[in-house]
Chain A
Amino acid sequence: AQSVSQHNHHVILSEAASLELGCNYSYGGTVNLFWYVQYPGQHLQLLLKYFSGDPLVKGIKGFEAEFIKSKFSFNLRKPSVQWSDTAEYFCAVNPTSGTYKYIFGTGTRLKVLA
């Protein structure tokens, strides 16, 4: 079955701490990979995406993610979080074939303490 797993449901960090959020997917074919962020009361916004090429991708606000094909993983990282990073983070995959679909993980709520 097609699925995306985010193992960390809630994460609490202090400002300046480093962040890594895990994302693993289960899909038999090729996918495009995304991280979206949802600030409180707002819609989802794209943080970064991977389609092909360098597996280390950089996004907005200092976030980066690394695609490890052998592990079906696309973990999100940030060296030093800020209070304004408090939000919910969603990993998503978009299969390159088949029906039109973005498959989302269940999300990780990040709270950054000032």
Chain B
Amino acid sequence: EAQVTQNPRYLITVTGKKLTVTCSQNMNHEYMSWYRQDPGLGLRQIYYSMNVEVTDKGDVPEGYKVSRKEKRNFPLILESPSPNQTSLYFCASSLYRTATEAFFGQGTRLTVV
């Protein structure tokens, strides 16, 4: 089954404790991205990747890092999480840069206390 898989689904952590949210897709998609979803703000792009070793900042990249060492994986790294990063995070992938559907993971609900 074609899918984007994120782990964990739920995470509660403390301020400053490094964490990684994993994202994996099995559709051989070139493009992947991370979004955060906050009430009243919709989804905002954090980072994106156009291929292995090619990543760039989205609209809200501060406090996040990503890597793309393999085509299927695109982890999101919070080096020193803060409470304002409490949010619902979605990973997405698409086959092309445009004129194509983005497929979304199930989401990771992160709480930073």
Partner of B98, one of A45, A90, A96, A104: A96
Q: How large is the interface on B (under 10, 10 to 19, 20 to 34, 35 or more residues)?
A: 20 to 34
> Is B41 in contact with A106, judged by CB distance below 8 angstroms?
yes
A95 within 8 A of B: yes
Across the interface, name the chain B residue whose C-beta is closest to A44.
B104
**Whole-angstrom distance between the Cβ of B104 and the nearest chain A Cβ:** 4
Extra pairs beyond A43-B107, A100-B48, A104-B43 (20, CB < 8 Å):
A32-B99, A34-B102, A42-B106, A43-B106, A44-B43, A44-B90, A44-B104, A45-B104, A46-B101, A90-B42, A96-B98, A100-B33, A100-B98, A101-B45, A101-B48, A102-B45, A102-B92, A102-B102, A106-B40, A106-B41
Which B residues form the contact surface with A (CB < 8 A)? 4, 31, 33, 35, 40-45, 48, 50, 56, 58, 90, 92, 97-99, 101-102, 104-107
